[in-house]
Amino acid sequence: MSGLWVQIAQFFVALSLLIVLHEGGHFFFARLFKTRVEKFYLFFDFLFPFSNVLPFSLWKKKKGDTEYGIGWFPLGGYVKIAGMVDESMDKEQMAKPPEPWEFRSKKPWQRLLIMLGGIIVNILTAFLIYAMILFVWGEKKLPMSELRNGIEVADSLAYQLGFKDGDIIKKVNSEDLVYYNDLMPKMLYAQTVTVSRSGKDTTFGLPVNFVEQLVDNKSKMLFAVPFPAAIKEVTPDKNAAKAGLLAQDKILSVAGTPTHTVIEFKKALQLHKGNIVPISVERKGTITSLNTAIAADGTIGIELNLPSNNEELAKMSNLKMEVKKYGFFEAIPAGMVMAKNKIGDYLGQFKLIFNPKTGAYKGVGGFDSMRKIFPEEWHWQSFWNITAFISLALAIMNLLPIPGLDGGYVMFTLWEMITGRKPNEKFLEIVTTIGLVLLLILMVAVNANDILKYFK
């Protein structure tokens, strides 16, 4: 299976799981307060948000008062709670007198919990996933103190910002940078960076639209941990194979220029493209020099051995990872702290997006952007880590006070609890319709942004 399909599969599984859990939260509290749930659907069985357009399901089964099913329109899911103005816009039912088992007959605090149920479950899901990640895999971090030779610049944007190869990054926004893992997350909010360069500390500022430049430059990684250039595979009939280079060879120099790292090796190839030069390699403890033709595009026909995670990176570069193991009961509070920190990170990204000066709004994307955050190989720790973060993102998004989202219903219920006045049902129908249309426009806009990125 190709990397693209692996990403799609992971995204589909994660999203489906989180939708079922979110709607299950509403379902649980509705049943707890003896409220009838007429439908429980993964995906929509209509063209969202128009409940009467193309109404059909891929699968459904009635059990008790509830119809369980899978819809055809994969933009979310829903539970249809009797006596509630929701996506189904069932005006016939709302025109009848309220029944004891309907949502509108319940006390305000009960309705509030029913509407918060999905958000509560999303947060609990993330906390439990993080706790189990720490319990099963522990916490692995690469201390900056291990990078004695500093970082390598992996993107031209980093050079433009003022970074140089060999910089030892010490502080971001006057805060000590202890772990390499925290470098890029902290850089998103960076205003100043302090590096040690040639034994001296240098502090320089970053532009306010740094995130916009990241997006426009399509930069995935500004920095790299230096690691050696070792050949994973030699392409048959290409220049490297003709020269006698073999898999597992460790490349030491190109045309006499030492290439201790992958980036140095690639730079050397670019300097000598179109020429035949000696490439020195270490093979089973013996150093061999082989005259190799470098193609006009700066390649020789090899695949390099690249680390797939931080552990492999540390091993290849002879760096010591800091590993912390958690017992089951230790992992529970640590998972809560991890979830809390991730919520803070997500809210920080929201702040960037809503500040036009940062240009971060350009990076907002839809389903394709979410798909891309999954690795191209199925890696369980990464899968659960990303799933937990998406779960928190869904919780925060659903808490926004927009009619049609859980937060909209929460807002009106809180208003009722504070003022003692229940909003008019006709008013709720109108604002819910407006909210659903706005949500549709927003979904179209963010997914259109994904499409535009391909053309750019």
* Interval 404-422: pLDDT, tens: 889 988 999 999 899 988 8
Q: Contact, 284 vs 261, CB < 8 A?
A: no
CB atoms < 10 A from the CB of 204, how many? 11
Q: Which of 4-18, 86-100, 128-142, 424-438 shows the lowest mean pLDDT across its residues? A: 86-100
- What is the phi/psi pair of residue 54, to 5°? 50, 55
Evaluate whether 268 touches 255 at the Cβ level (below 8 Å). Answer: yes
pLDDT in tens, 204-222: 999 999 888 888 887 777 8
Confidence of residue 263 (pLDDT cuts 50, 70, 90): confident
Distance CA 251, CA 288 (A): 10
Three-state DSSP class for residue 444: helix
Q: Which of 149, 150, 121 is nearest to 26 (CA)?
A: 121
Cα gap 76→21, rounded to integer Å = 12
Question: What proportion of the chain, given as a percentage, has pLDDT over 70?
Answer: 96
Question: Strands 66-71 and 57-63, how do they pair?
Answer: antiparallel
CB 22 within 8 A of CB 116: no
How many other β-carbons are positioned within 10 Å of the β-carbon of residue 91? 11
Tell me the CA end-to-end span of the chain in Å, nearest whole number: 28
Angle made by CA atoms 444, 39, 15, in degrees to the nearest 5 = 45
Using one digit for the tens of pLDDT, what is the confidence trace for 159-217? 899 998 889 999 999 899 999 989 988 988 889 999 999 889 999 999 999 888 888 88
Q: How far apart are CA 281 and CA 231, in angstroms?
A: 10
Let me know: does 229 contact 315? Beta carbons within 8 Å. Answer: no
What is the Cα–Cα distance from 312 to 309, expressed in whole angstroms?
A: 6
Cα separation, 392 vs 337, in Å, equals 13
Domains of the chain plus CATH, in order, are: 1-33+106-138+325-392 (no CATH), 37-98 (no CATH), 144-224 (2.30.42), 231-306 (2.30.42.10)
pLDDT at position 430: 83
Closest CA to 146 of 176, 187, 179, 113: 179
Q: Is the pLDDT of residue 23 over 80?
A: yes
| pLDDT recorded at residue 86 | 66
Q: CB–CB of 234/245 below 8 Å?
A: yes
What is the C-alpha separation between 223 and 311, in angstroms, rounded? 17
Mean pLDDT of the chain: 88
Owner of token pair 């702290």: 337
Q: What is the pLDDT of residues 38-67, one digit of tens each?
A: 999 999 998 887 778 898 999 999 999 999
With a pLDDT cut of 90, the percent of the chain lying above it is: 52
Residue 1: pLDDT over 60: no
Instruction: Give which of 271, 273, 281 is closest to 304, Cα–Cα.
Output: 281
Calculate mean pLDDT across residues 332-339: 95
Check: CB of residue 194 under 8 Å from CB of residue 171: yes
Nearest to 320 by CA among 135, 145, 149: 145
- Residue 69's pLDDT band (cuts 50, 70, 90): very high
pLDDT digits (tens, 9 = 90+) for 379-413: 899 999 999 999 999 999 999 888 888 998 899 99
